[in-house]
Amino acid sequence: MLEAVLPSIPRSEAPVTAVMMRAAVVHEPGGPDVLKIEERPLPQVRPGWALVRIHAFGLNRSELLTRAGDSGDAVRFPRVLGIECVGEVADADPATLARGQTVVAAMGGMGRDYDGGYEDYALLPVASVIPVRTTLSWAELGAVPETFGTAWGSLQTLDLREGQLLLIRGGTSSVGMAAITLAKGRDVRVIATTRQEAKRAALEANGADHVVIDDGAIAAAVRAIAPAGVDALLELVGPKTIVDSFRALRAGARACLTGFLEAVWDDASALAEAKALGIELRRFGSNVINRDTYGGIFQTIIDGIESGHYRLRVDRTFPLADIADAHRYMEANGAAGKVVGLT
């Protein structure tokens, strides 16, 4: 079911008339205040690219890190952040995309190699622009691409079966919340973790069968629920905690390392521990999301949300003008679900 009823926004096939647009630009790394709203000329379409009128964009932890300068030499400034967006095709080769089509886009270098979703219009590679059919509002649709795409791919990597027990460490992250509802849609039982007791209710409302408060060591609490251990692990906190998570798994279990909420990237010790314990450790990276691989998947997800088969939780929305406040909110770990920006 949808967690909130947000008004639908009509789509349009009207030609582009704007010549200037707003963008949240980062000129140098730093805190939230380095996000500056500026007027910029509208990008010009070139072969292989499409101009998208952005109506909403999800916010992600990776964008906080990029803004702070933690992406190393991979990102050059000035840059418009945002690894995902939803909106309408404003201009493109009609052989590839039709003007006015509702689209979603994620990854493919957005917000890192080229300007991303924190703007009114974005010039995106056609391969990253995915047409969809939906009656969801822009805010609801904006919560889908990166979050549900990553959760879907992670569960596919784990190859879960009906009735199995899944541990999601980092359950109140946007990917964690999406993974809970997708797993429940497959009749998989879920243990989800949170560091905040106040977020327990949100996890339970989203479908988690059990909630464990994460004090840094969760294995004993999970074993109290499942003495033989769980069948699979979706690790969203990262290498810093995954070894402790392993101790909650049964022999022969599978694990997927997807998230790096703690911003620790070295997984060498996790690989060694998994091998020693006989755990099959897999990874999922959302860089595989594109039009060819995820066109049908996103439509399936959206159909499932609209039918009530999957829950969609928009925690809070921010207008583009308040993007710095949105970053502050995420850094304060206040969200239980997806934070969405609106243009």
- 220, part of any domain: yes
Beta carbons of 165 and 230 less than 8 angstroms apart: yes
- Residue 24 DSSP symbol: E
Examine the pLDDT at 72 and tell me if it is beyond 90.
Answer: no
Cα separation, 182 vs 144, in Å, equals: 12
Whether residue 261 is found in the same domain as residue 231:
yes
- 14, part of any domain: no
**pLDDT band of 216, cuts 50, 70, 90:** very high
Instruction: Please count the structural domains in the chain.
Output: 2
Whether residue 107 is found in the same domain as residue 178:
no
Last residue of a domain, one of 267, 285, 303: 285
Q: What is the CATH number of the domain that holds 177?
A: 3.90.180.10
- Residue 28 DSSP symbol: S
Examine the pLDDT at 193 and tell me if it is beyond 80.
Answer: yes
Cα separation, 147 vs 153, in Å, equals: 10
Examine the pLDDT at 227 and tell me if it is beyond 60.
Answer: yes
Whether residue 131 is found in the same domain as residue 177:
no
Whether residue 117 is found in the same domain as residue 66:
yes
Q: Helix or strand or coil: residue 343?
A: coil
Examine the pLDDT at 32 and tell me if it is beyond 80.
Answer: yes
Q: What is the mean pLDDT of residues 51-57?
A: 98
pTM, 2 dp = 0.91
Q: What is the mean pLDDT of residues 15-35?
A: 91
Q: What is the mean pLDDT of residues 103-119?
A: 96
Examine the pLDDT at 2 and tell me if it is beyond 70.
Answer: no
- H or E stretch at 62: helix 61-67
Examine the pLDDT at 6 and tell me if it is beyond 60.
Answer: no
Whether residue 158 is found in the same domain as residue 125:
no
Beta carbons of 139 and 131 less than 8 angstroms apart: no
Look at residue 7 in the predicted model and tell me its pLDDT: 39
- 298, part of any domain: no
Beta carbons of 103 and 52 less than 8 angstroms apart: yes
- 4, part of any domain: no
- Residue 326 vs residues 31, 38, 64, 182, 316: alpha-carbon distances, Å: 12, 17, 10, 26, 9
Residue 51 belongs to domain spanning: 20-144+312-342
- 2, part of any domain: no
Q: Per 3-state DSSP, what percentage of the chain is helix, strand, and coil (rounded to 5)?
A: 35, 30, 40
Closest by CA position to 148, among listed 189, 185, 123: 185
Whether residue 131 is found in the same domain as residue 198:
no
Q: What is the mean pLDDT of residues 179-185?
A: 98
